[in-house]
Amino acid sequence: MKFILILLSIVTSVTACAAQRDYAFPNNINTTEHYVFYSHGFIVEGDDPTPIHPRWGVYDFPSIQKALDDDSYTLIAHHRPKGVSPIDYAKRLAGEVQQLITLGVPPENITLTGFSRGGAITILAANELKNAKVNVVILAGCAGLINRKRDIQLYGRVLSIYETSDDVGSCNLLEARSPMLREFKEIAISTGKEHGAFYRPIDEWLVPLKRWINDSVSKPEINKNE
C-alpha cells in the first residue's frame, strides 16, 4: 500500500510539472540541440492563454505549445505581455537567438516560428539578425506592418504557410525584396477557417511545420543566387 501511495505521488508530481511547463528560455544550453521559438498571435497578449475571438473561437495557446513540443528540439514559446511593442519584442527575440549562437549553437539549428502578430515579430527578428543560416516559419504573418516597411527583408531558409480563406495571404512580396534568402517555400492551406485556422493545432499547418523543423538540422545550404 505504501509503495502504491509513493508511486501515485511520483505520477502526480510529474503530471503537475508537465502542466506547469512554461517553455521559457532555458537556463542550460546544449550546443548540440535544435531550438525552436514560437511566437503567438496578438489576441493572446496579456494574462489569458486561451482567449476567445467572436468569429474564430478559442486561441488555444497551451494546446499549440503541447503540439509543437517534440523530443527532437527544445521549444521556447513565451507568453507576451499586453501592449508590448512588436519592434521591441523582435529585438528581444533576436537577442535570445544571438545568445544561443554566441554560446555555440549552430544557427542552422535554430528556427523562428510565428503566427499573425507573432509572424510579424518573427520576420522583424530575422531582419534584425540578418543571419542567412537561421530557419524561419511564417504562419499568416505577411500583412500590415511588414508590407508597409519596405526595408524589412527575410534571411535564411524560410517556410510560409497561409490560409486561402484568410485576408492575410502570401509572403511573395517579402520574398521578392529579400536577396539573402537561401530557400523559400510557401504552402497554401484551405480549411475555410480564415485566420482562425491557426488558432488551434490542426494537421494542415502543424504537419508541414514540424516536417520543416525536423528537416532543417541536416538540410544542405542553398543559395538562390548561385
Place 224 in a pLDDT band, splitting at 50, 70 and 90: very low
Claim: this prediction has a pTM higher than 0.85: yes
What pLDDT does 219 receive? 54
Q: Are 73 and 33 in contact (CB under 8 A)?
A: yes
pLDDT digits (tens, 9 = 90+) for 164-219: 999 999 999 999 999 999 999 999 999 999 999 999 999 999 999 999 998 875 55
Closest CA to 161 of 99, 192, 119: 119
- How confident is the prediction for the chain on average, in pLDDT? 89
pLDDT digits (tens, 9 = 90+) for 139-166: 999 998 898 888 999 999 999 999 999 9
| Mean pLDDT in residue range 25-36 | 96
- The β-bridge relationship of strands 35-39 and 110-115 is parallel
Q: Give all strands (DSSP E) within the chain, no chain letters.
A: 35-39, 52-53, 57-58, 74-76, 110-115, 135-139, 156-163, 181-189
pLDDT digits (tens, 9 = 90+) for 75-89: 999 999 999 999 999
What class has domain 35-216? alpha beta
Q: Are 156 and 134 in contact (CB under 8 A)?
A: yes
